[in-house]
Amino acid sequence: MIAGLDPIPETGGSQTPASAQKSLGKDDFLQLLVAQLSAQDPLNPMEAQDFSAQLAQFSSLEQITNVNDTLKEINESQVALGNSSMIGLIGKAVDVPGNTFDLEEGGTISMSYILPQDAEAVFVDVFDASGAPVTRLTGNTSAGSNLKVWDGKTGDGETAPPGAYTFKVRAVDADGEPIESETFTSGIVKDVVFEDKVAYAVVNGQKIEAGKITRVSSL
């Protein structure tokens, strides 16, 4: 204790300023090192090994900062490159997760689904925009990825009008128990939109991330 000064009473909790709780950057570290050298006792200077250790810490901090800056630049470049490549999908046919699609005049639709195991029976039901059943198709029962093409005909053999449709896959095992399936549908990429530096392909009226597109083909 310094003579003539009364001790400061403790107040129960840490009073560390908010600014001191922030992590130090390389500039802050260098300023602290210079201040430490300036304030040292000339009769008892810092040991050479201590000084070398602090310089090594500063060098490591600077390298880490530079690496972080480089990784940030690489990430931004990859995002920009990926967004640019998405523009090339406009007008291409793609497969995306979901069960909605747009039927064009006289067109056909590819409906895909994945089964975790072999099924005893699989039915693919197609519904119109109002939810009314249009037709029921028999699907492949093998485990894994399966494809069912709808020729655009109703259950009565009539040509279904163009518009929005949905489909549902119902699979059962040998005991009649339901088997969960993952569905995919095809569509044309009509547009590409950018939100928060992320590009989305507009397919069947839905925004789809690039990582969710499972197949791309030319028309």
Tell me what pLDDT residue 60 has: 72
Cα 153-156-159 angle, rounded to 5 deg: 30
Separation of alpha carbons 106 and 134, rounded Å = 16
**Token output for 66:** 């530079």
Q: Which two tokens stand for residue 211?
A: 């990582």
The CATH number of the structural domain formed by 93-217 is 2.60.40.4070
**Domain extents for the chain?**
93-217
What's residue 79's pLDDT?
A: 55
Take residue 13 and report the two structure tokens written for it.
């909790």
Rounded to 5 degrees, φ, ψ at 26 are -65, -35
Question: How far, in Å, CA of 149 to CA of 135, rounded?
Answer: 12
User: What is the mean pLDDT, run by run of 10 residues, along the chain of 219 residues?
Assistant: 46 46 58 67 56 64 70 61 73 89 88 95 96 96 94 95 95 96 90 84 86 82
CA distances (Å), 166 to each of 124, 193, 218, in order? 10, 24, 23
Q: Check: pTM over 0.75? Answer yes or no.
A: no
Separation of alpha carbons 63 and 203, rounded Å: 45
Per DSSP bridges, beta strands 144-150 and 109-115 are antiparallel
Cβ-defined contacts of 14-17 (< 8 Å, 24+): none
